[in-house]
Structure 1
């Protein structure tokens, strides 16, 4: 009897997955499903990275005028967020249509 092959992930992949959870505002479960991971695996990565990389008061950089985004940057960020949401919606529609045409129940 053959078991499942254990997958391994690079540190860079783990960091990007954790960053996706932090930046998207979505749940760990939602991001894990999107990436094809188990919730528990991604949750452990988030906890490990949070414990190691949580900034302390001495390592935090103070916010200055130079680090605040300008109106142009804010507009660009808003545009990119709208585009990102539209692309996610299109991706989800395509996933559902593939499942319909393949005859796989949802």
Structure 2
């Protein structure tokens, strides 16, 4: 990105130098200009939709554990009754 923005290298040339597709480099540049703070999620940053998915997965852990305990206790008491 800095090759293109700071040094004035053509996008096609920068893409070839970095062994990237020109469309990928252009998309990255669009994302950077649209939302610089959220352009490159990863390094400690998460996109909002991925953060929500992670939070929901954490939320689901306890109900699943409770369900599994209830299933096991139902099976246990069914065996005790016979």
Report the TM-score, using the length of structure 2 for normalisation: 0.41
Larger Cα-atom Rg: 2
